[in-house]
Structure 1
Amino acid sequence: MKSHPPYTMCFRVKFYPHEPLKIKEELTRYLLYLQIKRDIFHGRLLCSFSDAAYLGACIVQAELGDYDPDEHPENYISEFEIFPKQSQKLERKIVEIHKNELRGQSPPVAEFNLLLKAHTLETYGVDPHPCKDSTGTTTFLGFTAAGFVVFQGNKRIHLIKWPDVCKLKFEGKTFYVIGTQKEKKAMLAFHTSTPAACKHLWKCGVENQAFYKYAKSSQIKTVSSSKIFFKGSRFRYSGKVAKEVVEASSKIQREPPEVHRANISQSRSSHSLNKQLIINMEPLQPLLPSPSEQEEELPLGEGVPLPKEDNISAPLISSSPVKAAREYEDPPSEEEDKIKEEPLTISELVYNPSASLLPTPVDDDEIDMLFDCPSRLELEREDTDSFEDLEADENAFLIAEEEELKEARRALSWSYDILTGHIRVNPLVKSFSRLLVVGLGLLLFVFPLLLLLLESVSMR
């Protein structure tokens, strides 16, 4: 760890279950609920207005229980920061559903209903990685139980299922996905901000593919980021796969563990404690201005930046002075309210794996700042690949592979003709050719064995 004690540890879900219905224990469902609540708060869960209202109402029902006019004033929902973009119309809809549709639901039932709705959404389980495509457009890459997904704005533009993903690799700051789309081989390429971010993206893809694709962990093999004759990163996912986890959980026989849910008073104290711990931590070296600096420069009328990482066990209650000041402002115009009521999109997120294990929410348009800052531009000048040449490079890569296969076929055909006597050559040349073929055959047989031995030694 780069920081000094006291440390703040946060629980996170890495692999989201494809079917939350199969989760056996209430404690596991509650932990997944906390993760989904965090995803909603950071704008990771893409959903329509009606779905957003239902998800928000489930959170309120789980946190507060049934609506009580004596305990819940008119604007009680405004005390909760549930969504990154939370309009008054959305809050009114949440109140309506909380009053009329969810009455009588206990916290476990409300949490379970949230999971049922959330797992049907396209961005369920997506940890969005910001990249640039071949045209320089900001895209978000993610890995789900279904496969590899690509989002632009609020639309999913690509979905390659895991059985159709042939290979994941990276070179420098460029990430490649080679797969099959509509019965045709295709290669997608994306640019990340740093080589470290690209390597992290590649590792995430390899892990998710292994976890969701294979039936047994014994089937998982070590994956290389480049061709066998060139130096590259090697990685192997070590752990159970999805099917093994489901089978193991179905065999659990024990008393259900007790679930300790945080009420509002507990969550406020833990919120302030967690905030104090974050203040005492050694600051990381950010790629962008820190959220505190952005908040100082931000006028009250332009909104509030997303907060830093908080303990997800606490209900999302606003403690920002900007939030309090917003109550005394003039009501927002119809145009602004209309913008806020549009379908929610994935937030602009910057992820720096070399500095932090947690994604950092930032304001809109700061992805471009990450790619266009002077230090990044200095590095970009040294790169031979550019966005304009990317398609040509992809075509050249595929053509080169086809040419290599053709040359290999010609060499094998020529060797076969010599060995069978279809081509008359000098006896000395023929003997040398046979010796060469036998040597190559032995090399092809021995070389994989050497690789296996080296791999077994390195794993020890």
Structure 2
Amino acid sequence: MFASCHCVPRGRRTMKMIHFRSSSIKSLSQEMKCTIRLLDDSEISCHIQRETKGQFLIDHICNYYSLLEKDYFGIRYVDPEKQRHWLEPNKSISKQMKSHPPYTMCFRVKFYPHEPLKIKEELTRYLLYLQIKRDIFHGRLLCSFSDAAYLGACIVQAELGDYDPDEHPENYISEFEIFPKQSQKLERKIVEIHKNELRGQTPPVAEFNLLLKAHTLETYGVDPHPCKDSTGTTTFLGFTAAGFVVFQGNKRIHLIKWPDVCKLKFEGKTFYVIGTQKEKKAMLAFHTSTPAACKHLWKCGVENQAFYKYAKSSQIKTVSSSKIFFKGSRFRYSGKVAKEVVEASSKIQREPPEVHRANMTQSRSSHSLNKQLIINMEPLQPLLPSPSEQEEELPLGEGKSLPSGGQCRRFALEERDISSSSCLESILFPFSLIRMELWWSSLLTLDAWVASRERGLMKNER
């Protein structure tokens, strides 16, 4: 199938080139180069055809890793308008990409496992560890000082091994950037834990301990979507295994569990969540910066709800964006759900594949620049690609405190505490009038047509 396969040095990264044999000059002219950046910042590159679907790239990367528990992962890209997207497996890659080739994408964790203990293979745990390490560095995994020190120590233990005074001089932690804001106090605490608490832990054990701690944190698995509520307050929306979450600054102000989420929809730049709270129905509204950002938010919500809520993928149905009488966006999640993934993992019986771990990288100017961009970024500006990977790693807040007093409501949104029946009536009543008028006018037109036909027939008979 492949004509050649070789690695090309590229600074600190490694690019794996794969060339396909072609049966004609025409097929060669249709080949497009696609580069995928992996979780350890290495790259693999291949040539695809115009009709190649997204599933091919996902399978190609999983084959490269020898990864079986692949349903947690996906491929993300940024379009020319700086909007992020997840590559859809059942659609042509060229039709999804709005830019011209060559294409650049990123391999990332899409659905975070709810229970790391149920991950069967060490390779899957290592890839999840790399994603969590990225989330920590980009400020997306928020935690207390003590938890941050423990997570940092686990990373150091996994990648540097046991503390050795001969190999680890004073301030050795300062050579590495683990957190976006890394104080000397935090570094001293990391060194203390690394010295005294983690000695003897192998890389797999240290990585697993990091996962056990990370999955208990509120922002574990949260890919923050910047929005504004009805009061104009900046909020971040996210989806986790538990449900739909809302953050203001670095505080979670609301969680709607998946069983209580009735419907997700969007219209233009406005995203709606219809859910139940204390046996009452409420519709919450958020405003995004662009219609494309709103649609991406909606699709992420639909996929996460399908993955975490349902017991079987056969229960998933195609959903529409919002329109009742007019055609809107339609989308259907394709893939296994969380329970099916765990069940499939329990049946894996093979010799575990070898895990090739990357060494901890020292501080680099590009990372420093990236950190500065993240700290100073206004949440609702157009998303900018990260200098290191052309992918926006958006942090959850910038240390802003929660508004005090009556300014901070539990919903902080367009909240409507109404019963199910009244909610439906309030939404459908205007449309019912329209439909009645259309029906009445069509009925009058039909009566007139029948009358004219009868007059014509009577005239012919005469």
Fold-level similarity (TM above 0.5)? yes
Residues 1:229 and 1:98: Cα distance change in structure 2 (over 3 Å):
same
Residues 1:113 and 1:306: Cα distance change in structure 2 (over 3 Å):
farther
- Range with greater deviation from structure 2 (348-357 or 184-193): 348-357
Report the equivalent of 2:31: none
Report the equivalent of 1:202: 298
Mind listing any 5+ residue stretches in structure 2 that lack a counterpart?
Answer: 1-96, 401-412, 433-442, 444-462
Does the CA contact (< 8 Å) of 1:306 and 1:363 recur in 2?
no
- Equivalent residue for 1:230, pick from 321, 326, 329: 326
In 2, Cα distance between equivalents of 1:199 and 1:364: 22
For 1:305, what is the secondary structure of its paired residue?
A: helix
Q: TM-score, normalised by structure 2?
A: 0.62
For 2:353, what is the secondary structure of its paired residue?
A: coil
For 2:327, what is the secondary structure of its paired residue?
A: coil
Query: Which amino acid counterpart does residue 222 of structure 1 have in structure 2?
Result: T
Report the equivalent of 1:43: 139
1:138 aligns with 2:238: no
In 1, Cα distance between equivalents of 2:342 and 2:376: 29
Report the equivalent of 2:210: 114
Report the equivalent of 1:100: 196
Shift of 1:262: 1.2
In 1, Cα distance between equivalents of 2:302 and 2:296: 10
Residues 1:362 and 1:16: Cα distance change in structure 2 (over 3 Å):
closer
Report which structure shows greater RCO (CA 8 Å, sep ≥6): 1
In 2, Cα distance between equivalents of 1:247 and 1:122: 26
List aligned pairs for 1:16-27, cutoff 5 A.
16-27=112-123
In 2, Cα distance between equivalents of 1:60 and 1:97: 10
In 1, Cα distance between equivalents of 2:137 and 2:324: 44
Query: Which amino acid counterpart does residue 357 of structure 2 have in structure 1?
Result: R
For residues 9-30 of structure 1, what are the alpha-carbon distances to aligned partners after superposition, in whole Å with 9 as ceiling and x for unaligned? Answer: 5320000000001111000000
Report the equivalent of 1:155: 251
For 2:106, what is the secondary structure of its paired residue?
A: coil
Shift of 1:181: 1.0
Query: Which amino acid counterpart does residue 106 of structure 1 have in structure 2?
Result: T
Mind listing any 5+ residue stretches in structure 1 that lack a counterpart?
Answer: 279-290, 296-303, 308-344, 368-389, 410-431, 433-460
Report the equivalent of 1:305: 372
List aligned pairs for 1:166-181, cutoff 5 A.
166-181=262-277
Does the CA contact (< 8 Å) of 1:197 and 1:353 recur in 2?
no
Residues 1:348 and 1:243: Cα distance change in structure 2 (over 3 Å):
farther
- Equivalent residue for 1:186, pick from 282, 294, 303: 282
Residues 1:36 and 1:228: Cα distance change in structure 2 (over 3 Å):
same
Shift of 1:228: 3.3
Shift of 1:263: 2.2
Report the equivalent of 1:330: none
- Equivalent residue for 1:91, pick from 187, 207, 210: 187
Q: TM-score, normalised by structure 1?
A: 0.63
Query: Which amino acid counterpart does residue 359 of structure 1 have in structure 2?
Result: E
| Bigger fraction of residues in helix | 1
In 1, Cα distance between equivalents of 2:218 and 2:227: 19
Query: Which amino acid counterpart does residue 210 of structure 1 have in structure 2?
Result: A
Residues 1:251 and 1:225: Cα distance change in structure 2 (over 3 Å):
same
For residues 345-395 of structure 1, what are the alpha-carbon distances to aligned partners after superposition, in whole Å with 9 as ceiling and x for unaligned? Answer: 998656868999832548988x9xxxxxxxxxxxxxxxxxxxxxx849999
Does the CA contact (< 8 Å) of 2:140 and 2:394 recur in 1?
no
- Percent identical across equivalent pairs? 84
